[in-house]
Amino acid sequence: MASTSHAVQAPVVVLGGGPVGMVTALALARRDIPVIVLERGPDEVRSEWRGSTVHPPTTELLDELDLAAPLLKEAVRVHRLDYRDLELTESARFSYEALEGETRYPFRLQYEQYKLVRLLRRAVAETPNVDIRFGHDVVGLRQDDTHVELDVTVDGAPSVVSAQWVVAADGAHSTARKLLDVPFPGFTYPTLSLVVATPFRFEDAVPDLGAVGYWSGPKGRFSLIRTPDIWRAALSTGTGVDDEPPSGTHPAFLAAVDLLLGGTPDARELPLSQHQTYRSHQRLAESFRIGRVLLAGDAAHLSSTTGGMGLNSGIHDAVAVAIALAEPDPDTATSEYAQRRRSIAERFVQPTTTENRTSADGVELAGRRERLLRLRALADNPEDARNYLRRVSMLGIQH
């Protein structure tokens, strides 16, 4: 690395002002480690109804940052998971009561990711030792065995930010990962995921509807999730919606809702607040540590959104990397962080989300019935039900 006159400006620089970056900054500040956060975008969080699941161990981690109270006040508490089918009568139900004694928060929360980011940014703004800088675009990176230098542009003007360590929490298209040429192998699912947000009161139209329901069906998976403001429907579809009107009358959505509601009311009459598609991936960075740069969250690993593990595992990464950087020997601790968190992603998160996605996307009627009967057998056995909920709640793997 070329010699420069730039002094180290902070022990740690965090790249990215999303949930993973914000949790990393807060967790570092709580350990008396000054941190600079560089966020490419403005200090504005758009309202998007996509990720919303917060699992019990994640709530515990947020509680350590004094954020559980406002989260619990606003979020929807989920006390059961329902698995159904749009055509079959078979079903299965798992009650979170099975996790009593396993966690301080034996329930799942639904809280829109954009609201969580806003909550985190308010906390960061009030936290000493955190300097968050918006509109800072990282365009270059150099490092040696003592520090990292980042080339940054701000309104087109170049500058350099230097730190002892960098945590790259800058998302799926991570600049740091690309600048470091870190391989990111994996695959992209061939089907799209469609998300529709609507204020329609499904609870008045669907008998015994819980806050989270997963349906199998002739066109693939369909889910309904209640968030504080709105119902969020998600489904698989083989086609995009780029040429469709803003009303979001996508054929796959209309077909699923018509089956769910029996055609009354007509799905075309539902008011829609948002309508978008995205692709799901399963990808894993070759290494979570490259010199003095540490990858976390989507910058390190991508998984199917089915089951809501992506956001949660990213927050777990954030706390784990902060703990490692606060150790007396951060060099050893961060190497252990990189190995352990990559192992968790490879051996647990990716296989679990792949299994969830594959089984939920099945369309063959006999296979759908068999899956529901298998889930019901698990739900009817207390020990099996507890183990199932522990797995889908990510209990025991957050550190």
CB 355 within 8 A of CB 371: no
pLDDT of residue 320: 98
Reported as type and span, the H/E element at residue 336 is helix 330-344
Q: Each residue of 275-300: pLDDT tens digit?
A: 788 888 899 999 999 999 999 999 99
Task: Decide if pLDDT at 26 tops 80.
Answer: yes
For residue 156 the two structure tokens come to 């087109």
What's the CA gap between 295 and 103, in Å, rounded? 28
What's the CA gap between 270 and 200, in Å, rounded? 6
Domains of the chain as residue ranges with CATH: 10-77+107-186+282-359 (3.50.50.60)
- Return all residues near 5 (Cβ < 8 A) that are at least 6 apart: none
Mark 8-39 as b/e (b = at least 16 C-beta within 10 Å). Answer: ebbbbbbbbbbbbbbbbbbbbbbeebebbbbb
Of the listed ranges 13-27, 31-45, 239-253, the least confidently predicted one is: 239-253
pLDDT of residue 184: 97
DSSP-assigned letters across all residues of 224-255? EEE-SS-EEEEEEESS--TTS-TT---HHHHH
What's the CA gap between 128 and 30, in Å, rounded? 9
pLDDT of residue 114: 93
More confident residue, 399 or 302: 302
Tell me the C-alpha to C-alpha distance, in Å, between residue 55 and each of 19, 76, 318: 14, 12, 15
CB 187 within 8 A of CB 170: no
Of the listed ranges 41-45, 98-102, 125-129, 146-150, the least confidently predicted one is: 41-45
Question: How does residue 6 score in pLDDT terms, banded at 50, 70 and 90?
Answer: low
Question: How confident is the model over 385-397, as a mean pLDDT?
Answer: 93
Sign of CA dihedral 104, 108, 113, 118: negative
pLDDT of residue 83: 96
Of the listed ranges 26-35, 81-90, 263-272, the least confidently predicted one is: 263-272
Q: Each residue of 216-251: pLDDT tens digit?
A: 999 889 999 999 989 999 888 764 444 444 345 678
Mark 331-357 as b/e (b = at least 16 C-beta within 10 Å). Answer: eebbeebbeebbebbeebbbebbbebb
More confident residue, 273 or 330: 330
For residue 234 the two structure tokens come to 């998600």
Task: Decide if pLDDT at 50 tops 80.
Answer: no
pLDDT of residue 249: 60
Sign of CA dihedral 20, 24, 30, 31: positive
Q: Each residue of 342-386: pLDDT tens digit?
A: 999 999 888 887 777 777 778 899 999 999 999 999 999 999 999
Identify residue 104 by its one-letter amino acid code.
R
Q: Each residue of 306-319: pLDDT tens digit?
A: 788 999 999 999 99
Task: Decide if pLDDT at 3 tops 80.
Answer: no
- Return all residues near 192 (Cβ < 8 A) that are at least 6 apart: 236, 237, 238, 239, 240, 277, 278, 279
Peptide bond into 328 cis (omega under 30): no
